[in-house]
């Protein structure tokens, strides 16, 4: 009998996870028929949280880029949707155009931001977000912090509007998740991990560090822009403070740190947990925020690697296999 190493990229756990995710997609797609307008709105909120959590995790957990200014893309996408729809473009086409503009903004921003390191990068992103906030306030259409509404969406019946918004949110979320999954399973995914773990070491073996970071940065910008445009479509009202506010950064941090940094599964779990907490406790006002802080402190002390950091090692194989699994087989 001799032992051989067998390399795989999936297994029973990943197949079960895929089945669960497929079931969740079907339930979300059917929400308008079973839960009406209110259910569709909550489903969009969940998908927005998933986008924010997964994209911030892609930056910090996979690429080591800790940003506290992702509201730059969240708020600019919502503002661009308002502007384009006001110019006569169909609001749903305006959403798609805003996502594309978010990707372009991410690329342009990466040209000068990725040269910054650690705290400089984090603060620099916050400064850019604050500048964008100030510029949006100067637009007469927005009326400062008074804001405006995505009026053109009223051209759709409320049932039709809620259904289309949910289905568009589902498609965009799946597209972003698929892009991230494909990226992490590609050779670039290995380069991303190498850059995160040891940037100098990665550069020494020929990894183009800036290009690698840029790929993740632009993807994160695109996903965050999609979240901002979808949040606007679901809520209709645009107030700059509500879209550029630091509370969104706090939500992203909470979801990723509670779910588990550096794993797609952790971001998904964190988003679902945050959604549940918000659904049942948001009406408690300040106590809701205190509770969020308490939960975050609890996880930092008891489960520093998040929920998935505790669950993942206890499962046979990866749930979302982005790496390789090496097993021994006897022959």
For residue range 232-260, list pLDDT tens digits in order. 999 989 999 999 998 899 999 999 999 98
Q: Render pLDDT for 122-180 as a digit per residue (tens, 0 to 9).
A: 999 999 999 999 999 999 999 888 888 988 898 899 999 999 999 999 999 999 999 99
Q: Which domain holds residue 182?
A: 3-330
If one counts the domains in the chain, the total is 1
Residue 316 belongs to domain with CATH number: 1.10.3470
**Span of 3-7, 145-149, 178-182, 184-188 with lowest mean pLDDT:** 3-7
Task: Write phi, then psi, for 325 (nearest 5 degrees).
Answer: -115, 125
pLDDT confidence of 1, banded at 50, 70, 90? Answer: very low
The percent of residues above 90 in pLDDT, for the chain, comes to: 59
Q: Which residues of 58-86 are buried (b: 16+ CB within 10 A; e: fewer)?
A: bbbbbbbbebbbbbbbbbbbbbbbbbbbe
CA of 210: how far to CAs of 108, 151, 192, in Å? 13, 41, 10
Question: Among 21-30, 197-206, 268-277, whose mean pLDDT is lowest?
Answer: 197-206
37 Cβ neighbours under 8 A, 6+ residues apart? 158, 159, 162
Q: 186 or 225: which carries more pLDDT confidence?
A: 225
pTM of the model: 0.93
pLDDT band at residue 324 using 50, 70 and 90 as cut-offs: low
Distance of alpha carbon 135 from alpha carbon 152, whole angstroms: 23
Band of residue 5 on the pLDDT scale cut at 50, 70, 90: low
CA 152 from centre of chain? 26
Q: Is the pLDDT at 23 greater than 90, yes or no?
A: yes
Highest mean pLDDT among 29-38, 182-191, 205-214: 29-38
- What's the CA gap between 24 and 64, in Å, rounded? 30
DSSP state of 243: H
Residue 2, pLDDT score: 52
Both tokens assigned to 282: 């948001």
């Amino acid at each position: 009998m001799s032992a051989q190493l067998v390399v795989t990229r999936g297994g029973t756990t990943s197949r079960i996870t895929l089945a669960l995710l497929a079931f969740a997609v079907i339930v979300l797609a059917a929400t308008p028929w079973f839960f009406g307008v209110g259910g569709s709105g909550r489903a969009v909120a969940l998908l927005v949280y998933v986008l924010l959590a997964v994209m911030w995790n892609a930056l910090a957990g996979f690429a080591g880029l800790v940003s506290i200014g992702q509201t730059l893309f969240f708020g600019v996408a919502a503002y661009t949707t308002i502007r384009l729809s006001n110019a006569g473009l169909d609001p749903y086409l305006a959403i798609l155009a805003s996502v594309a503009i978010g990707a372009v903004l991410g690329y342009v921003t990466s040209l000068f931001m990725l040269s910054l390191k650690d705290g400089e990068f984090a603060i620099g992103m916050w400064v850019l977000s604050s500048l964008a906030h100030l510029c949006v306030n100067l637009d007469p259409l927005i009326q400062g912090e008074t804001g405006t509404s995505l009026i053109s969406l009223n051209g759709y019946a409320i049932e039709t509007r809620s259904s289309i918004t949910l289905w568009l949110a589902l498609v965009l979320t799946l597209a972003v998740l698929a892009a991230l999954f494909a990226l992490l399973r590609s050779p670039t995914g290995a380069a991303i991990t190498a850059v995160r773990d040891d940037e100098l070491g990665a550069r020494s073996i020929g990894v183009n560090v800036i290009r690698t970071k840029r790929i993740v940065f632009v993807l994160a910008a695109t996903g965050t822009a999609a979240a901002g445009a979808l949040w606007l479509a679901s809520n209709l009202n645009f107030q700059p403070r509500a879209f550029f506010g630091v509370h969104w950064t706090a939500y992203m941090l909470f979801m990723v740190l509670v779910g588990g940094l550096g794993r797609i599964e952790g971001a998904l779990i964190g988003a679902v947990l945050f959604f549940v907490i918000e659904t049942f406790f948001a009406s408690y006002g300040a106590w809701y925020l205190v509770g969020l802080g308490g939960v975050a402190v609890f996880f930092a002390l008891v489960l520093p690697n998040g929920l998935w950091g505790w669950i993942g090692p206890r499962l046979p194989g990866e749930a979302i296999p982005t790496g390789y699994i090496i097993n021994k087989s006897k022959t």
